[in-house]
Amino acid sequence: MSTAIYTHPTCQLHEMGYGHPESPARLIAINQALVAGKIGDQFIQLEAPLATETQLALVHSEEHIRHIKKHRPERGYFQIDADTTLNPSSWTAACAAAGAAIEATSAVIEGRVDNAFCAIRPPGHHATPTAAMGFCLFNNIALAARHALSNCGLERVAIIDFDVHHGNGTQAAFQGDERVLMVSFFQHPLYPYSGTEVSSSNMINVPVPANTDGRAVRALVEQHWLPALHQHKPQMIFISAGFDAHRDDPIGQMALVELDYLWMTQQLKHIAQLYSQGRIVSCLEGGYNTSALASSVLAHIKGLADLN
């Protein structure tokens, strides 16, 4: 099993001010864990290309793309909202994150690698087609899925989102598009306070209360996600891999552990083997305790590479 890890140096240069939880330390911790675990050489490590504005327009409006590009500061910061800030490297970092997701998708579909994890930031699943929000500038996973459908000839894909927050931007991009099945759980109530409304049939949202643990999550996966995935028979699986549902995360209040992320990865790999020729692209979303993040990512990518 060949598993690629895509990243870009600029992803570590984007930062949103002192003390912001979505910081370069997140990728540094993941890199250090790969070295400490002596498993980095078991993955194909690749530098991502930058997404073009034409590629960003697969999901995002021209006005939104111009807004991010125009307001990148020469120094200091530009505040988009209370949680989301641009620094001089943010535009390039966001293009690199999107480019990683798109290139990983092409590589997997073309058979250059079996599956891929994108160690990228800024994250993406809160970015709507017309707005940045919630630490997110462009919606990396939505761009990857749209690329697969629009440019690579696929007809059905699935997006799995196990971040502690609802992926409102991804839902906005694909709600009502029956080619795309999105399944998720998320803590409720919690930012962005969405996902509980009556939605279209291609959105399987499962809100859960604070303190929900792995046993409950495994049950909802078996009861809600897996039947929908078997019915949809996706030709490729995309994962919004947020690790802030971990019990040690400072932002979420769920109670997952590393073995839960490994178990979910294994379930999704089984679906991919049945219907998707094993094709999976996973993109980093949340996770703000750097130790828990690093160990959870390792569990996830070991699962992708069959190293467990």
pLDDT on residue 56: 99
pLDDT on residue 198: 73
**pLDDT band for position 38 (50/70/90)?**
confident
pLDDT tens digit string along 140-174? 999 999 999 999 999 999 999 999 999 999 999 99
pLDDT tens digit string along 102-126? 999 999 999 999 999 999 999 999 9
Domain ranges of the chain: 3-304
Whether 222 contacts 179, CB under 8 Å: no
Selecting among 14, 60, 126, 246, the annotated active-site residue is 126
pLDDT tens digit string along 84-96? 999 999 999 999 9
- The HSE-up count of residue 85 (CA atoms within 13 Å, CB side) is 20
Dihedral through CA 132, CA 195, CA 118, CA 145, nearest 10? -90
**If you average pLDDT over residues 29-34, what whole number do you get?**
97
Rg (CA), the chain: 17
Whether 284 contacts 123, CB under 8 Å: yes
Q: Model's pTM, two decimal places?
A: 0.98
- Among this protein's residues, is 126 annotated catalytic? yes
pLDDT on residue 1: 63
Please report, as a single letter, which amino acid is at residue 114: D
The CATH H-level superfamily of 3-304 is Histone deacetylase domain (3.40.800.20)
Nearest C-alpha neighbor of 122 from the set 297, 261, 286, 281: 286
**pLDDT band for position 199 (50/70/90)?**
confident
